[in-house]
Amino acid sequence: MIYDDEKIWATMAEAGAQEEYSASTCSSARTCRKSGHYKSGAPLQPTSKATSVQGAERQATRDRPALLPRRGEQLGGYYLVEAKDLDEAIGIAARIPSVRLGTIEVRPVMETPAGM
């Protein structure tokens, strides 16, 4: 999962943001595809577009941004990759250029029982 500080992206001129996105996200995804690791991925809309749901009795709310994970970073997108082990997954994550602006979280997909 790719965490960035939205404030950094918001202060970039549109051309600069597009260039950074193209250089980082698009290029990184192409490289990951070529290596055979890439399975899926997508950028996310800013937290101002997020809906947070908390607790069974609470309704979805649009009047506040998504929960902030740490240091003012927001989940900006994700890659789903297939790696032989944690070390390979960390190596893939370290090559994602967005790591310069934020944090790349590596987390395994949870195995679920058949039929779920």
97: in domain: yes
Residue type, 81: V
| Residues in CB range of 70: below 8 A, 6 or more apart | 3, 103
Q: Model confidence at 8, in pLDDT bands (50, 70, 90)?
A: confident
Question: Which of 10-14, 22-26, 27-31 is predicted least confidently?
Answer: 22-26
Question: Residue 110 falls within a domain, yes or no?
Answer: no
Which residue segment(s) compose the domain that 67 sits in? 2-51+62-104
Q: Which pLDDT score, from 0 to 100, does residue 21 have?
A: 67
DSSP annotation of 73 reads B
The pLDDT tens digits for 47-78 are 787 766 666 554 444 454 444 455 677 888 88
> Does some domain include residue 71?
yes
Task: Give the count of domains, the chain.
Answer: 1
Determine the Cα–Cα distance for residues 93 and 106; give it in Å rounded to an integer.
7
Residue 74 located in a structural domain:
yes
What residues pair up with 40 in beta bridges, in sequence order? 80
* Share above pLDDT 90 across residues of the chain, in percent, rounded to a whole number: 6
* Cβ count near 64 (within 10 Å): 11
Task: Say which CATH number the domain at 18 has.
Answer: 3.30.70.1060
- Domain-embedded: residue 33: yes
